[in-house]
Structure 1
Amino acid sequence: MTDRSTAPDSPPTDTWTLANAKARLSEVVDRAQTGPQIITRHGRPNAVVVSADEWARKTARKGTLAEFLLASPLRGADLELERVQDEPRDEMP
């Protein structure tokens, strides 16, 4: 079956061998709704199956690049940057 491990602030996690996960894919997907499912290959973690909601939450954009740069602690710092003045590259035929 699977090993169930829990950390204090995380949902339960199941660990599956690759062969077991292949044979019971539907169950792996069902259990991913309540917590990440780790799939091992040769005894080492190889992949994680999570719910679509969890994936969307983890990969959601948290602002724009401009907002990130404006929030930088280096904003307003007096940095002196030098630009390298290289020759242009030769054109490819």
Structure 2
Amino acid sequence: MIEPAARAVVPVGSWRLQDAKARFNELVRRVRSDGPQHVTVRDQEAVVVISAEEYRRLTGRPTGQALISVVQASPHRDIDLEPEPVVMSVRDVDV
């Protein structure tokens, strides 16, 4: 009798593509709780699934936090940035 081939051991945080597809909800849950999850195709690492928050951080999507941090760290943050009001003349217009 021939024994079935043993499945290769997959490290924690790594999924075979077929398992990732079959258990996608769990994959997403693990990304959110445990961090990035690796997906393999034919025993070769193919992709890494990351959270949307991590993606934004890595791609440098503007959140405004960088600007806030720079302004708060500036030694010149006491400078008044409000523009001075300018009085402009108004002219009559026929409509």
Please identify which structure carries the higher strand content.
Answer: 1
Q: Deviations over 1:63-86 (max 9, x none)?
A: 9xxxxxxxxxxxxxxxxxxxxxxx
What is the CA RMSD across the aligned residues, in angstroms? 2.1
Please identify which structure carries the higher helix content.
Answer: 2
| Distance (whole Å) between structure 1 residues aligned to residue 23 and residue 43 of structure 2 | 18
C-alpha deviation, 1:3, in angstroms: 2.0
**Aligned position for 1:3:** 11
Give 1:44-59 correspondences, 5 Å limit: 44-59=44-59
**Unaligned segments of structure 1, at least 5 residues:** 5-13, 64-93
Identity between Structure 1 and Structure 2 (%) = 39
Structure 1 counterpart of 2:53, one-letter code:
D
**Aligned position for 1:16:** 15
* TM-score between both structures, scaled by the size of structure 1: 0.52
**Unaligned segments of structure 2, at least 5 residues:** 1-8, 67-95
> Deviating runs (4+, > 4 A) in structure 1?
none
**Aligned position for 1:27:** 26
How many correspondences in the alignment?
A: 54
| Distance (whole Å) between structure 2 residues aligned to residue 53 and residue 2 of structure 1 | 26
